[in-house]
Amino acid sequence: MAITMKSLANALLILCLLAASCQAKGLGRHAPAAISPRRTAPRRDPNEKVFNVLQYGAKPGGKQDSALSFIRAWRAACNYRGTARLLIPMGTFLIGATIFQGPCLGPVPIKVQIAGTLKAVPDPSMYEEDFWILFEKINGLLVTGTGTVDGQGNAVWKYNDGGSRFPSSIKFNHVANGIIRQITSVNPMGFHISIVLSQNIRAKNLHITAPATSPNTDGIHISQSNVVKVSRSVISTGDDCVAIIQGSTDVSVKKVTCGPGHGFRIKTWGGSPPSQASNILFQDIIMDNVKRPIIIDQTYGSKSNSPSRVKISDVRYINIRGTSASEVGVDLKCSEAVPCEKLYFSNINLKYYGPKKLPFTSTCTNAKVNYVGNQFPPPCR
């Protein structure tokens, strides 16, 4: 699967699947049924100094909040003028809200190795902001390891009324030239990973899981960021697999397996102010029993009677195949104020496997679509 985009503002692009899975492949290659993150031992720099959180008072066992010890270890690593690595060793560590803030003084990147299991304090009232673990104002960051980040969201989801924003497990804010890889994230209170106001970020070889019923647990949530590449990961969660929000440009999602989650779609709210979402490519995607596989919805989640004024254009769907759980395989609901233009469908081959024998259809409103090659469901006319 390849999903790329160059320009997005005041629109929301979501890649995810409802009661289903999506297998990803690169051009000319066949993907396996699932993609397991590769875990390799990091290369060691003989001049690197290791800052072990145990040396700063962190207590394994998962009963005592070690957040302050983690922050002390980070400050020592960040202020060190040589090559530095923050080490979270094997063991289980309980931590509340934790901020790893730069800028740092040593050569880039500063490394954070998570070998153990981090467990969040499962009390939403303990988090004043929208994060559990925050990396902020850092140029050159590598977060890696074979460890697990457990938000313990199963203890707090019952308090989510739909109007509250629970903390993301990991948030990058104002991070440049960052990599997060090989981490396992389970059961976040809010999003698994949030990338905000950041540039040149790589998220790869991740394993992200939460129950299908978990509320608002986006896998990777990207906003106001530039040059973000998500690859070779498995995302199974209760909300959006990958959400690309307003102000984000040059984002790609490749070789990712998604499901469960929601359908993959472009959506804007009714009454949205003038803006645009353009140059978006969905290519080489395999659907497996997906509800409403292809969606553009410009009336999403709003009680406004005014049409969205977000202009959607230059969107390409190429080589998409598999099965649909709903009788509408392609559903395009564009704005009457600024109709969708330059939508391009090439070689769409979806089959309906719903419980009822119904016609398999496409619906299009205020959309200008060009078709090339095979089209199933049949194109709008």
> Active-site residues: which are they?
239, 262
**CA-based torsion, 352, 356, 359, 361: positive or negative:** negative
User: CA–CA separation, 260 vs 273, rounded Å?
Assistant: 32
Closest CA to 122 of 70, 72, 158, 147: 158
324 — phi, psi (to 5°)? -115, 140
172 vs 187: CA distance, rounded Å: 18
How far, rounded to the nearest angstrom, does the alpha carbon of residue 293 sit from its chain's CA centroid?
18
CA 305, CA 307: separation in Å to the nearest integer? Answer: 7
Phi then psi dihedrals of residue 72, to 5 deg: -65, -45
Q: Measure Cα distances from 40 to 45, 87, 114, 144, 188 in Å.
A: 15, 16, 13, 10, 25
Give SS3 for 210: coil
Tokens of 273: 């102010």
- ∠ CA 351-219-362, rounded to 5°: 25
Q: What is the DSSP letter of 63?
A: S
293: helix, strand or coil: coil
- Residue 214 CA to residue 340 CA, distance in Å, equals 33
Q: Which is nearest to 248 in space by CA: 203, 206, 279?
A: 279
Rounded distance between C-alpha atoms, residue 174 and residue 103, angstroms:
10
End-to-end CA separation in angstroms for the chain: 28
Q: What angle do CA 25, 169, 188 make, to 5 degrees?
A: 80
d(CA 64, CA 121): 10
